[in-house]
């Protein structure tokens, strides 16, 4: 009887867990089209997108092309970068997964980023407002991040 209960609970877990995982993060087939559609609706059809709006690059070293969206390259009803502040513009990082499609893994308000090789691995060096390095003023903060799978791992702050 006890083993039957364990089997039933395992079957329920096999059915429920994939549904819960999918509910947490859904795949996007085309992040650029997804973002453009979102902003076209938000801007009531008066949105334009600059050349640097979307960048394709493998940011997590898995040989699949990922996409970084720079919301500072959006012009909405005549206003460039409507969500940009003195702390930077929102950037959305989409990771291409082997199952097909992309997952939004991070959104960061940054001034920009460089993609460089360090110790044999490609890393992102994000330029951010000084407050992200626990400073109130001065030079921008540089946070170096390595992307492993679908997780951002902070390597250094300066």
Which band of pLDDT confidence, cut at 50, 70 and 90, is reported for residue 139?
A: confident
Q: Tell me what the mean pLDDT of segment 113-136 comes to.
A: 88
Asked if residue 39 lies in contact with residue 53, where contact means CB atoms within 8 angstroms, the answer is no
**The token pair that represents 28 in the structure block:** 């996007």
Q: Under 8 Å CB-to-CB from 84, ≥6 apart: which residues?
A: 71, 72, 90
The span from the CA of 52 to the CA of 36, in Å, is 13
* This prediction's pTM: 0.79
Say if strands 66-70 and 54-57 run parallel, antiparallel, or are unpaired: antiparallel
Asked if residue 92 lies in contact with residue 31, where contact means CB atoms within 8 angstroms, the answer is yes
**The token pair that represents 39 in the structure block:** 């902003």
pLDDT at 25: 67
The pLDDT tens digits for 16-74 are 344 334 445 689 999 999 999 999 999 998 999 999 999 999 988 888 999 999 999 99
Would the pLDDT of 136 be above 60?
Answer: yes
Query: If you compute the radius of gyration of the chain from its CA atoms, what whole number of angstroms results?
Result: 20
What is the signed CA dihedral for 78, 111, 140, 156, rounded to 10 degrees?
160
Would the pLDDT of 153 be above 80?
Answer: yes
Which band of pLDDT confidence, cut at 50, 70 and 90, is reported for residue 11?
A: very low
The pLDDT tens digits for 68-98 are 999 999 999 999 999 999 999 999 999 999 8
What residue segments make up the domains of the chain, in order of their start?
24-157
């Amino acid at each position: 009887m006890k083993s039957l209960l364990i089997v039933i609970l395992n079957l329920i877990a096999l059915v429920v867990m994939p549904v819960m995982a999918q509910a947490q993060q859904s795949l996007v087939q085309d992040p650029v089209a997804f973002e453009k559609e979102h902003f076209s609706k938000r801007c009531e059809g008066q949105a334009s997108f600059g050349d640097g709006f979307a960048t394709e690059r493998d940011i997590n070293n898995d040989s699949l092309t990922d996409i970084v969206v720079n919301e500072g390259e959006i012009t909405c009803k005549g206003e460039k970068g409507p969500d940009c502040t003195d702390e930077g513009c929102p950037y959305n990082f989409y990771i291409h997964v082997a199952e097909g499609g992309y997952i939004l893994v991070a959104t960061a308000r940054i001034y920009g980023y460089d993609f460089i090789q360090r110790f044999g691995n490609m890393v992102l060096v994000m330029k951010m407002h000084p407050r992200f390095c626990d400073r109130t003023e001065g030079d921008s903060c540089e946070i170096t991040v390595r992307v492993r799978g679908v997780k951002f791992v902070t390597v250094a702050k300066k």
